[in-house]
Amino acid sequence: MPGASPATAMVDKPVHATSTVAEPERTLSGLFWLLAFLLLGEDLTHRLGWPAPGAMIGMALLFIALCLLGRIPDSLVKASELLIGLLPLFVVPAGAAVLTQAAWGLNDLAALALAVPLSTLTGLLVAGLLARRGDR
């Protein structure tokens, strides 16, 4: 598609917000694959003793699998759209926990003051490099 971003160019079909309700079996299939890669990442992390979160390893493996596949399956798009719509339900409890448990952060204030800007800058740089690479 001319003018389409790399992410949208890989999607099988155009997806609309109401399509996740119309085809629940595809949405469930996508949720299954997300959960399977999450569990694979958790399993690898525990078996190999890696110091990274299993969810991060699982999503990296999913990214590699999608790159090898060369497209994003429609079922995965539908499941992702469903979860993105529910994202505030996951973020609000975590934010409340940070606010109520703020005392532990005071002990490591110097480390947090360094880690937060560095991780933000790293994320911005990686996103910029990926965006530039996608424009080629």
Contact 38, 55 (CB under 8 A): yes
* pLDDT in the model for residue 135: 67
Looking at residue 30, its amino acid is: G
Distance CA 20, CA 126 (A): 31
H helix or E strand, kind and range, residue 81: helix 74-85
**pTM metric for this prediction:** 0.56
* pLDDT in the model for residue 136: 60
Q: Where are the domains of the chain?
A: 1-11+20-89, 101-136
Distance CA 14, CA 34 (A): 20
The contacts found for 83-91 with CB under 8 angstroms, 24 or more apart, are: 83/31, 83/34, 85/17
Residue pLDDT, tens place only, 102-120: 666 677 777 878 888 899 9
Q: What is the pLDDT along the chain (136 residues), one digit of tens a residue?
A: 455 544 444 555 544 444 444 578 888 999 999 999 999 999 999 999 988 889 999 999 999 999 999 999 999 999 988 888 888 887 777 777 777 776 666 777 778 788 888 999 998 998 888 888 776 6
Q: Coil, strand or helix: which one is 72? A: strand
